[in-house]
């Protein structure tokens, strides 16, 4: 077998690739790279630290601002609660004052039954309160809505001549044109009622809307005679709990009717008379009669109806007088259709 002699192995020096054995330029390059990386790292750490500090400061500022706003809101809420309480107190006081005014107005109407009323023609019409309170006395309350109008003065002339007192439910926008007629109504013993400012359908309105319609009309009446209306008649007789509640708070009883002459529909004097004097559905002791003084035909019909009722022994009173005599008075917010004895 052949053998090969490789000869003696020579020692080989293996030099590790350490920095000490690197060329000087290469070592410097590595140092620079390391320094740059270290600087970048330090910058990143510093930036992160600065951002964290700024973020904490911002959060602290937001927390402080939030706390301040919460304190402001709490103060505003406290102020709002105080104002609400004060507003409630003032509303209660206003309602109380209006109730007192209504009571005084009703008392004034009652006093009118006990005193002599001097008519413009110089005659004196007297009413015995005791006779009116007697259930045997035949009483009727004529009411006239929607005025004053161009025929109201003529109607007042006729009522004065016959010593008749009635109740006028005024629309504010119309009444504003005739302050002298309102004053005359008051002076001649008639009751002045509220029929809203614009003849509004009250159940369609909010409580505030109902109150405004009544308030605006009362302002017109008050400017003429120094006090509010003694009663409220809702246009069309349309009411609901909201309307009744507002009327109650304002100290106003609600007057409806038991006899509708439908003068607003027929515009015919003969038909108005027939409806008023109908033996079955017409006027009887304690009736409240609905008419409108804005129509020529209604005034003509009144000139026929009143003498005929006089001949039957009827006494003409205002609605407050009728309710005082037959029901002992009227309660704010309640609806009254008649003053029939025993009802």
- By annotation, the residues acting in catalysis are 145, 292
**Using CA atoms, how far apart are residues 181 and 82, in angstroms rounded to an integer?**
45
Torsion of CA 175, 150, 142, 114, to 10 degrees: 70
Q: What are phi and psi of 195, to 5 degrees?
A: -120, 25
How far apart, in whole angstroms, are the C-alpha atoms of residue 246 and residue 52?
A: 63
Closest CA to 203 of 225, 160, 176, 236: 236
> Distance between CA atoms of 225 and 223, rounded to whole angstroms?
6
Write the DSSP assignment of 235-277 as a string of letters: GGG---HHHHHHHHHTT--EE--SEE--HHHH--HHHHHHHHT
DSSP per position, 83-102 = HHHHHHHHHHHHHHHHHHHH
Distance (Å, rounded) from C-alpha 337 to C-alpha 340? 9
């Amino acid at each position: 077998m052949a053998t090969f002699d490789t000869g003696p192995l020579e020692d080989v020096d293996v030099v590790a690739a350490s920095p000490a054995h690197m060329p000087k330029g290469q070592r410097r390059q590595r140092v620079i790279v390391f320094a740059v990386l270290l600087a970048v790292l330090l910058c990143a750490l510093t930036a992160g630290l600065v951002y964290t500090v700024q973020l904490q400061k911002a959060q602290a500022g937001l927390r402080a601002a939030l706390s301040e706003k919460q304190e402001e809101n709490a103060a505003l809420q406290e102020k709002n609660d105080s104002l609400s309480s004060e507003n409630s107190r003032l509303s209660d006081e206003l309602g109380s004052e209006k109730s007192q005014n209504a009571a005084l107005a009703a008392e004034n109407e009652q006093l009118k039954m006990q005193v002599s009323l001097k008519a413009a023609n110089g005659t004196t019409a007297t009413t015995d309160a005791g006779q009116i309170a007697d259930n045997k006395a035949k009483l009727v309350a004529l009411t006239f809505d929607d005025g004053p109008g161009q025929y109201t003065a003529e109607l007042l002339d006729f009522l004065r001549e016959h010593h008749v007192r009635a109740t006028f439910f005024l629309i504010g926008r119309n009444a504003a044109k005739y302050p002298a007629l309102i004053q005359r109504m008051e002076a001649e013993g008639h009751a002045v009622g509220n029929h809203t400012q614009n003849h509004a359908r009250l159940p369609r309105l909010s409580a505030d809307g109902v109150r405004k319609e009544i308030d605006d009309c009362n302002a017109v009446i008050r400017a003429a005679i120094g006090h509010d209306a003694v009663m409220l008649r809702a246009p069309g007789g349309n009411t609901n709990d909201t309307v009744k509640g507002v009327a109650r708070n304002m100290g106003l009883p609600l007057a409806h009717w038991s006899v509708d002459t439908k003068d607003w529909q027929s515009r015919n004097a003969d038909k108005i008379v027939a409806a008023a004097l109908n033996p079955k559905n017409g006027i009887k002791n304690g009736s409240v009669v609905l008419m409108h003084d804005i129509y020529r035909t209604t005034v003509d019909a009144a000139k026929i109806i009143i003498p005929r009722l006089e001949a039957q022994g009827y006494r003409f009173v205002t609605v407050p007088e009728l309710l005082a005599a037959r029901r002992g008075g009227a309660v704010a917010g309640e609806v009254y259709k008649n003053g029939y004895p025993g009802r």
